[in-house]
Amino acid sequence: MIEIINSYYPSLTNSEQKVASFVLANLDTVMYYSVTDLAEEAGVGETTVLRFCRKIGFKGYQEFKLTIAQNISEEEKEKVKSESTNLVQALCSNTVKAIENTASMINEQDLNAAIHLLNGARSIHFFGVGTSGITAQDAKSRLLRIGRSTEAIVDSHLQAMSAAALSKEDVVVGLSISGSTRDTLESLEIAKKAGAKIIAVTYYSRSPITQFADIVLLGGAKESPLEGGSLTAKISQLYVVDLLCTGLALLTKDKTLEMKNKTAKAVVNKIY
């Protein structure tokens, strides 16, 4: 990667050279940056970062980050290997740390605002694809148990069609660790234009998803392109969902208890 960037460096514009210089000086951490983060650190616009990636031979920013991750140094590989000697404790420690980090990132005022927004919604829609789509389905299950009208939509075409049919009485929760998932962003843009309120759950506070959000809740964990769907990021995302669901339940305790009894009875015969 260093050789590739250096070979193209003279042909880059001044702004693109700023990106190149920053990348060369921070190669081991850039793969964790969103496109917005890198643009801000380099002091350029996001379009400059994308032009830089294309000029050095990549289709886009994600392919650029993936290549960096694939070319991680042997020294870093050995470090990871040595830290994995006690697999049980290593994974436990990483998971606990991820939840603690998410708890410290959550703004209670924003969380309470999100809970009240969901409480007043006619319907709640969770948008997510890939691993975030699985989280969306889990969130739907949680809310159904307490009597909330909700949908989890993980197909990009269905997301777009559903988004177009929403109104100002509806709320969409967009789930994306990177905050840059194209399908989710496009669906949220449609929902925003339809008048729906948007809650974004993402790890990156300066990622593209935030431009559509009325409320941003930070959750998840740092991932390289090779770590998509990591357990730590998944659990942190579920932790934010749990905060929202528990907050809703506490707002309407009597109704929640009644619906928990009803939904539990509905599936009691499904278990031996």
Mean pLDDT by 10 residues, the chain (272 residues): 82 92 89 87 92 91 86 56 66 83 88 95 94 93 91 95 95 92 94 96 85 89 61 87 93 88 84 73
pLDDT tens by residue, 104-148: 888 899 999 999 999 999 999 999 998 899 999 999 999 999 989
130 & 209 share domain:
yes
Integer angstrom CA distances of residue 87 from 80, 152, 167: 11, 34, 48
Q: Return the CATH number at 109.
A: 3.40.50.10490
- What pLDDT, on a 0 to 100 scale, did the predictor assign at position 122? 93
- What pLDDT, on a 0 to 100 scale, did the predictor assign at position 222? 64
- What pLDDT, on a 0 to 100 scale, did the predictor assign at position 127? 97
- What pLDDT, on a 0 to 100 scale, did the predictor assign at position 8? 84
Distance (Å, rounded) from C-alpha 206 to C-alpha 61? 15
- What pLDDT, on a 0 to 100 scale, did the predictor assign at position 66? 85
* Rounded percentage of the chain residues whose pLDDT exceeds 90: 49
Looking only at the bridges linking them, the beta strands covering 150-153 and 170-175 are unpaired
- What pLDDT, on a 0 to 100 scale, did the predictor assign at position 216? 93
pLDDT tens by residue, 222-233: 665 555 557 788
Which of the 8 DSSP states describes residue 49? Answer: H
Residues 6+ apart with CB under 8 A from 145: 259, 260, 263, 264
Q: Let me know if 34 is exposed, middle or buried by CB neighbors in 10 A (0-12, 13-18, 19+).
A: buried
Give the pTM: 0.73
- What pLDDT, on a 0 to 100 scale, did the predictor assign at position 265? 85
Query: In degrees rounded to 5, what are phi and psi of residue 210?
Result: -70, -20
70 & 101 share domain:
no
55 & 170 share domain:
no
169 & 250 share domain:
yes
Distance (Å, rounded) from C-alpha 206 to C-alpha 35? 9
Residue 10 structure tokens? 């003279």
- What pLDDT, on a 0 to 100 scale, did the predictor assign at position 215? 96
Asked if 139 contacts 173 with a C-beta cutoff of 8 angstroms, the reply is yes
Opening angle at CA 124, ends 118 and 127, nearest 5: 120
- What pLDDT, on a 0 to 100 scale, did the predictor assign at position 44? 93
- Structural domain including 11 reads 2-75
122 & 51 share domain:
no
Q: Return the CATH number at 62.
A: 1.10.10.10
Looking at 75, 104, 130, which one is the last position of a domain?
75
- What pLDDT, on a 0 to 100 scale, did the predictor assign at position 256? 87
- Name the domain count of the chain: 2
Distance (Å, rounded) from C-alpha 113 to C-alpha 119? 10
The amino acid present at 269, given as its one-letter code, is: N
- What pLDDT, on a 0 to 100 scale, did the predictor assign at position 73? 53
- What pLDDT, on a 0 to 100 scale, did the predictor assign at position 83? 54
185 & 216 share domain:
yes
Integer angstrom CA distances of residue 15 from 38, 44, 52, 75: 13, 6, 9, 32
